[in-house]
């Protein structure tokens, strides 16, 4: 364990560039632990010195002597070390978002997670600084443009294949990468947290390496067989209906938009027959993306009212150009193999019937996958039988991963707790008392259970007032 002790000293900020010894944990690993190069580092927006590092792993684990890729990670050191010290590996969503992007959060509002353990942020293979698979032709597209132009998809694939085997950028390989980082840093057991796709990666790791997981917190749970984006249209429609009903019950919103449901229904019927100034598919997908956050949701009645009056400018102003944060090449490699390849034509039509989005998003992504041509990866299914303590936080206004998905997953997790936050959207932001989420999650990771009193704060988490004019109501 000498190597692990050296690492623990290093993360307190005393060390210079360290090389963690390559040793074999014969009791639970069948591979040699890779060496990790670790150094002090500074990250923009973070006022403290952190620890950054890399390890090298095979791109294809079936050919360990073949092409190698580097995995980049950031460690935010624990604020105190005691008997409860266990590192937390936080897993980003997407797939395609770099884990290291969360460093600012864990250095500021998320410092509570570092009370009793390091926080490790790994850039999943294909993202951030870990052999990224970016598609500038797609990521730089203007708002309301076609989502996946086939020529752009084809061009990106040809470019990336010059230096990457796109078939190896899967969730299972990302889980294997995660375990090599864990081993290289000398951690025997870890906690996991995941948001959206990060929950699928966390569950995959739990299946492969249950002996190394102490506890997990999942928010916006995505099962292995969710077949995204199959249910995007249906889940978004359900939340849109909720918002229209909520507006009708809120005096200020109902006074501003007294006939919102009828107006919106008439607009949908009209837009199906008469082309508008915005293409219908991209327009509706843009509206769907606004539903993933509470801040976007509170603007929806205002936007629907203006769309119904053929005023598209507010929606144009609300939707921003793609910022390139998501590595589209990684997104396609994962979802084409694990999701869209399993969607049948009948499922497409049934899942999208009667929704404002229709099959647009599904068809765009399936067409892109026909160009990307990934071999199908068989997924294990919804169940994962485990006695590891798991907290599942679900949003009642989540337009991507509904509460039912978390409850279904919890059925096979014998020590699971499901907490429903009624007004929470897919992204954890935009409600009053947002600190409640971090309080619950950190307490669960510390003590492996939640008391009723610790969940009381959920009742104080409310959506902010709807936007009814260009001048927003006070927060």
What tens digit of pLDDT does each residue of 105-130 get? 999 999 999 998 999 999 999 999 99
Residue 30's pLDDT is what? 57
> Which of 102-111 are b and which e, b meaning 16 or more Cβ less than 10 Å from the residue's Cβ?
bbebbbeebb
Which among 193, 190, 189, 191 is positioned nearest to 218, based on CA atoms? 193
Average pLDDT estimate for 182-186 = 96
Residue 341's pLDDT is what? 94
Q: How many CB atoms neighbour CB 420 within 10 A? A: 16
For residue 71, name the pLDDT band (cuts at 50, 70, 90). very high
Q: How many CB atoms neighbour CB 391 within 10 A? A: 25
Contact of 393 with 441, CB cutoff 8 Å: yes
Q: Is the model's pLDDT at 188 over the cut of 80?
A: yes
How far is 187 from 181, CA to CA, in rounded Å?
Answer: 9
How far is 427 from 220, CA to CA, in rounded Å?
Answer: 8
Q: Is the model's pLDDT at 447 over the cut of 60?
A: yes
Which among 425, 453, 454 is positioned nearest to 441, based on CA atoms? 454
Q: How many CB atoms neighbour CB 29 within 10 A? A: 16
> Mean pLDDT for the chain?
90
pLDDT tens for each residue of 221-240 = 997 778 999 999 999 999 99
DSSP state of 309: T
Average pLDDT estimate for 184-208 = 96
DSSP state of 448: S
Indicate the domain borders of the chain.
134-150+232-378
For residue 468, name the pLDDT band (cuts at 50, 70, 90). very high
How far is 138 from 136, CA to CA, in rounded Å?
Answer: 5
Structure tokens at 265: 């229904």
How far is 26 from 6, CA to CA, in rounded Å?
Answer: 20
Say which range, 36-45, 96-105, 272-281, has the weakest mean pLDDT.
272-281
Say which range, 92-96, 156-160, 225-229, has the weakest mean pLDDT.
225-229
- Helix H or strand E encompassing 57: strand 50-58
Helix 232-249 × helix 260-273 angle, to 10°: 140
Beta bridge partner(s), residue 217: 193, 391
Contact of 177 with 154, CB cutoff 8 Å: no
pTM for the complete prediction? 0.91
Q: DSSP labels for 357-425?
A: STTHHHHHHHHHHHHH-PPP-----S---B-S-EEEEEETT-SSS-HHHHHHHHTTBTTEEEEEETT--
Q: Which residue has the higher pLDDT, 9 or 461?
A: 461
pLDDT tens for each residue of 334-375 = 999 999 999 999 999 999 999 999 999 999 999 999 999 999
Residue 24's pLDDT is what? 33
Q: Is the model's pLDDT at 331 over the cut of 90?
A: yes
Q: Is the model's pLDDT at 13 over the cut of 50?
A: no
Give the rounded percent of residues in the chain with a pLDDT score beyond 90: 80
Beta bridge partner(s), residue 121: 74, 90
Which among 163, 160, 98, 83 is positioned nearest to 130, based on CA atoms? 98
Residue with tokens 């010894």: 21
């Amino acid at each position: 364990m000498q190597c692990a002790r050296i690492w623990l000293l290093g993360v307190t900020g005393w060390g210079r560039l360290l090389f963690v010894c390559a040793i074999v944990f014969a009791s639970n690993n069948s591979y040699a632990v890779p060496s990790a190069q670790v150094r002090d580092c500074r990250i923009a927006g973070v006022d403290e010195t952190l620890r950054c590092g890399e390890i090298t792993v095979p791109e294809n684990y079936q050919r360990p002597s073949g092409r190698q890729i580097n995995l980049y990670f950031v460690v935010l050191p624990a604020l105190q070390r005691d008997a409860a010290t266990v590192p937390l590996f936080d897993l980003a969503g997407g797939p395609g978002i770099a884990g290291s992007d969360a460093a600012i959060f864990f250095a500021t509002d998320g410092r509570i997670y570092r009370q009793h353990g390091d926080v490790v942020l790994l850039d999943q293979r294909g993202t951030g600084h870990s052999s990224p698979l970016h598609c500038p032709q797609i990521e730089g597209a203007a708002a309301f443009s076609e989502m996946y132009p086939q020529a752009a998809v084809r061009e990106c694939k040809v470019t990336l294949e010059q230096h990457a085997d796109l078939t190896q950028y899967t969730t299972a390989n990302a889980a294997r990468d995660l375990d090599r980082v864990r081993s290289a840093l000398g951690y025997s057991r870890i906690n996991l947290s995941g948001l959206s796709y990060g929950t699928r990666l966390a569950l995959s790791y739990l299946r492969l390496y249950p002996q190394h997981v102490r506890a997990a917190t999942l928010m916006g749970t995505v099962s292995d067989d969710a077949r995204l984006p199959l249910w995007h249209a249906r889940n978004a429609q359900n939340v849109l209906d909720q918002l229209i009903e909520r507006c009708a019950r809120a005096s200020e919103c109902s006074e501003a938009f007294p006939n919102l449901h009828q107006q919106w229904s008439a607009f949908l019927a009209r837009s199906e027959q008469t082309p508008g100034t915005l293409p219908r598919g991209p327009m509706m997908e843009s509206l769907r993306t606004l539903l993933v956050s509470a801040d976007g949701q509170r603007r929806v009645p205002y936007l629907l009212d203006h769309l119904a009056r053929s005023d598209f400018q507010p929606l144009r102003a609300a939707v921003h150009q793609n910022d390139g944060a998501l590595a589209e090449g990684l997104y396609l490699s994962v979802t084409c193999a694990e999701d869209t390849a399993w969607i049948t034509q009948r499922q497409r039509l049934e899942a999208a019937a009667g929704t404002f989005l229709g099959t647009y998003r599904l068809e765009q992504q399936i067409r892109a996958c026909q160009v990307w041509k990934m071999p199908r990866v068989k997924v294990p299914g919804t169940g994962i039988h485990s006695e590891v303590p798991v907290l599942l936080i679900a949003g009642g206004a989540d337009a991507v991963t509904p509460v039912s998905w978390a409850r279904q997953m919890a059925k096979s997790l014998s020590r699971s707790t499901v907490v429903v936050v009624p007004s929470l959207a897919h992204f954890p932001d935009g409600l009053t008392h947002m600190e409640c989420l971090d309080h619950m999650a950190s307490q669960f990771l510390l003590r492996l259970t939640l008391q009723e009193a610790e969940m009381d704060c959920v009742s104080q988490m409310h959506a902010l007032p709807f936007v009814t004019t260009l001048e927003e109501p006070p927060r």
